[in-house]
Amino acid sequence: MSVQEYLDKHLLSRKIEDAVNAAVRAKSPDPVLFIANHMRKAVSSVITKIKARQILDSRGIPTVEVDLFTNKGMFRASAPSGDPSGMYEAFELRDGDKGVYLGNSVTRAVNNINEKISKALIGMDPTLQSQIDQAMIDLDKTEKKSELGVNAILAVSIAACKAGAGEKEVPLYKHIADLAGKPHLTIPTPAFTVISGGKHAGNNLAIQEIMIVPIGAIRFDEALQMGSEIYYHLKAVITEKHGAHGCNVGVDGGLDLVKEAISRTEYTEKISIALGAAASNFCQGTKYDLDFKSPNKSGQNFKSGEEMIEMYKELCAEYPIISIEDPFDKEDWEHIKCISNLGTCQVVGDELLMSNPKRIERAIQENTCNALLLKVNQIGTVTEAIEVVKQAKDANWGVVISHRSGETEDSFIADLSVGLSSGQIKAGAPCRGERLAKYNQLLRIQEELGDDAFYAGVEWRKPL
């Protein structure tokens, strides 16, 4: 008998003795069942199997899904995906065969999980999230996770996090809070996308998103109701003014439509607005082309950085805008810093930061922006996501937990936002299953927390 076998045998004997003594103390009417349940809780689960597959995201593009097994059950997770934005984010591994899903299939990432990651993680304790994540990082050996693929690593990391919560028999958000060392739980204030523009939308709106933020709601369910009602009022407003096929408007026109939709409800004083500019998409050298989508460009809507600042100032003065995401190009640090220093609204770094700790540190040191947009697949593991949120909060920044354009039904970011007390979540419009999966999970969490549920609301930037 080896030393390990000897220790395991005696440890098991001690656990059996503890279970018998507990049954006696409890005066259980069914001591056998009591002892079995006690033993089940006493013996730690380990990862016994990991199985990955290719599924489709909300755009119909392949992504990775993982089933992770312990003796407590099966825990499933999938990796969101988006348009790669540059050299500062983790690498999404795709096959590149143009004859299969136009090159977007992810069978290499799936095989990396089934053949490499699973071997490295089987036998590990699912509650030890940082050790699991580090094991995958060490196995990959690249800075951007390009060997195994961030889509492979993240799906496993999220599945392991769910398994860790299952092992502890606590809700996922509570397990995440424990991992982060955060005693407070906060249900975030949502930013609902109500008008989409930018390079992918079929209109001429240059900026990517106009969002409504129900900071005046008292509870999350009330915030969701506000978002849904205004969303459908807006559809009616657009139909009345521009017909059933939508509208082609500028920033002001889009904001006017949203303002009118809000006015048709009783929520006018409770709703603020956020903009997702994604200005890198319409930056031309040192100028910004607000007509970049117009088929009949006049050349009259090019703006310098200084003119863009004046435009944003005017918009914030005229509309209840509290947050602007990526107001300038991702390398235009000086103009982002200028508008951030005005203090008129929250300035969020998305493509500026890429959820990259080095970029975040630079932005902190240079006072470039004052909020982080966290996209978990830009960094790649639950542990690293927790670390960059702490980095941002230590700098007194706001934190927005964000969805991606390629989403799945996985509601993980809802629990992540509560567990990390981010205060803000951006999961899209209040429609479509992959978006509502996040909002509906927040409803369940609110119900579960009961009187202890704290909705960020007016404390959206700095919750408890």
Note whether 285 and 347 are same-domain residues.
Answer: yes
Note whether 242 and 386 are same-domain residues.
Answer: yes
* Residue that terminates a domain, selected from 147, 169, 191: 169
16 dihedral zone (left: phi>0; alpha: psi -120 to 50; beta):
alpha
Residue 59 lies in a domain: yes
- Give pLDDT, residue 142: 95
Q: Is 405 annotated as a binding residue?
A: yes
- Give pLDDT, residue 5: 52
Note whether 29 and 80 are same-domain residues.
Answer: no
Q: How many domains does the chain have?
A: 3
Q: Which amino acid is at 425?
A: I
For residue 303, list its beta bridge partners. Answer: 288
Cβ burial of 76 (10 Å; 0-12, 13-18, 19+) is: middle
CA dihedral (116, 122, 126, 130) positive or negative:
negative
Rounded Cα distance between 317 and 14, Å, is 69
Note whether 248 and 157 are same-domain residues.
Answer: no
Q: Is 293 annotated as a binding residue?
A: no
pLDDT (tens, 9 = 90+) of the chain, 464 residues, equals 554 454 445 545 655 776 677 777 777 777 777 766 655 555 678 999 999 999 999 999 999 999 999 999 999 999 999 887 667 889 999 999 999 999 999 999 999 999 999 999 999 999 999 999 999 999 999 999 999 999 999 999 999 999 999 999 999 999 999 999 988 899 999 999 999 887 777 677 889 999 999 999 999 999 999 999 999 999 999 888 877 766 667 788 889 999 999 999 999 999 999 999 999 999 988 899 988 877 666 556 789 999 999 999 999 999 999 999 999 999 999 999 999 999 999 999 999 999 999 999 999 999 999 999 999 999 999 999 999 999 999 999 999 999 999 999 999 999 999 999 999 999 999 999 999 999 999 999 999 999 999 999 999 998 86
Residue showing tokens 């008008």: 195
- Give pLDDT, residue 404: 94
Rounded Cα distance between 323 and 191, Å, is 10
CATH number of the domain that residue 119 is part of: 3.30.390.10
Rounded Cα distance between 152 and 386, Å, is 19
Q: Is 245 annotated as a binding residue?
A: no
* Residue that terminates a domain, selected from 143, 169, 195: 169
User: Domain range holding 108?
Assistant: 48-169
Q: Is 325 annotated as a binding residue?
A: yes
Residue 464 lies in a domain: no
Note whether 126 and 14 are same-domain residues.
Answer: no
Is 390 catalytic? The answer is: no
Q: Is 58 annotated as a binding residue?
A: no
Residue 419 lies in a domain: yes
Residue 312 lies in a domain: yes
Note whether 91 and 198 are same-domain residues.
Answer: no
Residue 372 lies in a domain: yes
Note whether 7 and 111 are same-domain residues.
Answer: no
Note whether 102 and 195 are same-domain residues.
Answer: no
The closest of 457, 441, 459 to 449, measured between CA atoms, is 441
Q: Is 335 annotated as a binding residue?
A: no
The model's pLDDT over 158-180, given as tens digits with 9 standing for 90+, comes to 999 999 999 999 999 999 999 99
Per annotation, catalytic residue among 375, 410, 415, 438: 375
Note whether 229 and 373 are same-domain residues.
Answer: yes
- pTM given for the model: 0.89
Q: How far is CA 257 from CA 141, 199, 246, in A?
A: 50, 20, 12
- Tell me the CB-side half-sphere exposure of residue 106, using CA atoms within 13 A: 31
The secondary structure element, H or E, covering residue 302 is strand 302-303
The closest of 371, 172, 177, 207 to 290, measured between CA atoms, is 207
Q: Is 266 annotated as a binding residue?
A: no
The closest of 188, 164, 160 to 178, measured between CA atoms, is 164
* Residue that terminates a domain, selected from 117, 134, 169: 169
Per annotation, catalytic residue among 97, 252, 297, 358: 252
Q: Is 115 annotated as a binding residue?
A: no
- Give pLDDT, residue 135: 98
Note whether 319 and 450 are same-domain residues.
Answer: yes
Note whether 157 and 219 are same-domain residues.
Answer: no
Is 375 catalytic? The answer is: yes
The model's pLDDT over 215-236, given as tens digits with 9 standing for 90+, comes to 999 999 999 999 999 999 999 9
Rounded Cα distance between 288 and 255, Å, is 19
Note whether 75 and 103 are same-domain residues.
Answer: yes
Contacts of 386 (CB under 8 A, 6+ apart): 176, 179, 180, 420
Report yes or no: 27 and 145 within 8 Å, Cβ to Cβ: no
Q: Is 209 annotated as a binding residue?
A: yes
Q: Which amino acid is at 109?
A: A
